[in-house]
A and B are shown apart, each in its own frame.
Chain A
Amino acid sequence: MSAGPYVLRVNGNDHEVPDAHLGESLLWVLRERLGLPGSKNACEEGECGSCSVQVDGELVCSCLVLAAAAVGREVTTIEGLAPDGELADVQRAFVEAGAVQCGFCTPGLLMAVDTLLDDLPDGGDPDDLIVREAISGNLCRCTGYGRILEAVSIAADLRRGNRT
């Protein structure tokens, strides 16, 4: 069943979606119709977090969002974190800490960490429990998470301007 043409606002730009079916998830439309393959598709049931995006500033699994129901929302994907080609603070932190191995979980984790840092009170330092809870919906099967936790700490310093 067709969802009719509709417009999604992604990373600050309006994108027309002309021929979508009604049942398509936001993840599917981002990857297959809008040419934004940074959000990864793995479980399609909200378990792995590799498709994480921000919708109106809130972290969600894009596989669990009906694309046509996201009309009028502000969607931010991994492609929107560093629109000018410079690495965002969270991306720099992951590189510095060596927190990327196969890389499949990385876009989702970056969105989760970016949301965590956005939501922290000014100058707040995320304690270990808060960080672990914030990334509990993002599975990484390579790193064992040690370097990811280190990356979050670096990213928090970068965001607060305690490190350049």
Chain B
Amino acid sequence: MTIARTLEDACTALAEHPDALLLAGGTDLMVGINRGQVGFDHVVVIDRVDELRGWRREGDELVLGAGLTYSEMGRGELPVLLPALAQAARTVGSPQIRNAGTLGGNLATSSPAGDTLPVLAALDATVVLRSSHGTRQLALDRFVTGVKQNALEPEELIEAVRVPVLDGPQEFLKVGTRNAMVISVASLALVVDRAGRSVRVGLGSVAPVPVRAIEAEAFVDGAIDWDTGSLPDAAVDRFSGLVAEAARPIDDQRGTAAYRSHAIGVLARRALRRAFSESAP
């Protein structure tokens, strides 16, 4: 086992042990280890690597360390800078899970139900990958390639995620069987870029990977009165329908495809109405 103290330590250990398990918060990985379902020869522990902790601002962008915990996403300035991410983080697990689980872990697990993923999709996030050979950056839709599948190479780790700071409201909404400790049945992130006069929508748990509702976005961008920040009810209805059409849900133990399509449309309507008021008649 290697307890890495620096990014270089971690990359060196991974180069020596390309099949090593990377352990950050452990909230996903330890479940498999406890059940004896995960075999391993070497573990690289990365929760003490300073370069992976916290976040920083670079101009109009935020660089979020892969080791940023869900609890940290809800603290300090981040809920103001990235409200949708803070809202998503608050719906994850319990305080115990949020204290340990990390942004990088959510990405690396690449579950369709990963709560931060629709937010990152809506923000057009870029994933920064690092190995002893150097760094590379991938757009989120290039990084998550399938159900629990991603573009990480054996010697790579996730270093950070880059997202823009936008001027405009943001919403994250999630449907589950109760409020705490719940895996999402459907989730939606909506972010508004007032300067760019655009709305972007990421969907979770309704497709193998996080998806964007591109047609719904294009439609609503043109329907909003950007000077007053309002739009008519008919446009909200149309938006809701287009978002539901962008989903590709399946039946599973948590819900049916039909329910998910319905729910995602409801979330779309609710999120859009929270962000924009009704047009005066």
Interchain nearest-CB distance for B83 vs A (Å): 18
By the criterion CB–CB under 8 Å, are B31 and A46 in contact?
yes
**Residues of chain B within 8 A of A45, CB atoms compared:** 31, 34
Instruction: Find the A residue at minimum CB distance from B24.
Output: A69
Q: Hey, what's the 0/1 contact readout for B67-100 against A, CB within 8 Å counting as 1?
A: 0000100000000000000000000011111011
State which of B31, B36, B179, B180 has its C-beta within 8 Å of the C-beta of A64: B31
Q: Tell me the total A-B contact number using a CB cutoff of 8 A.
A: 91
* Chain A interface size, under 10 / 10 to 19 / 20 to 34 / 35 or more: 20 to 34
* Chain B interface size, under 10 / 10 to 19 / 20 to 34 / 35 or more: 20 to 34
Expressed in whole angstroms, the Cα–Cα distance for A57 and B30 within the complex equals 21
The answer to whether A23 has its CB under 8 Å from any CB of chain B is: yes
- Of the listed stretches A11-19, A86-94, A132-140, A147-155, chain B binds A132-140
By the criterion CB–CB under 8 Å, are B41 and A60 in contact?
no
Instruction: Find the B residue at minimum CB distance from A58.
Output: B99
The answer to whether A25 has its CB under 8 Å from any CB of chain B is: yes
Expressed in whole angstroms, the Cα–Cα distance for A112 and B34 within the complex equals 23
By the criterion CB–CB under 8 Å, are B94 and A137 in contact?
yes
Q: Hey, what's the 0/1 contact readout for A88-120 against B, CB within 8 Å counting as 1?
A: 000000000000000000000000100100000
State which of B38, B41, B43, B95 has its C-beta within 8 Å of the C-beta of A133: B95
Instruction: Find the A residue at minimum CB distance from B46.
Output: A69
Interchain nearest-CB distance for A51 vs B (Å): 9
**Residues of chain A within 8 A of B27, CB atoms compared:** 46, 61, 64
Given contacts A46-B30, A52-B96, A134-B95, 6 further A-B contacts (CB under 8 A): A61-B96, A66-B30, A69-B43, A69-B45, A136-B181, A137-B94
Q: List 10 A-B contacts (CB under 8 A).
A: A44-B35, A45-B31, A58-B99, A59-B99, A61-B96, A65-B30, A68-B1, A69-B43, A136-B180, A137-B181
**Residue ranges of B at the interface with A (Cβ–Cβ < 8 Å):** 1, 3, 23, 25-27, 30-31, 33-36, 38, 40-41, 43, 45, 47, 71, 93-97, 99-100, 179-181
**Residue ranges of A at the interface with B (Cβ–Cβ < 8 Å):** 1, 3, 22-23, 25, 44-47, 49, 52, 58-61, 63-66, 68-69, 71-72, 112, 115, 133-134, 136-138
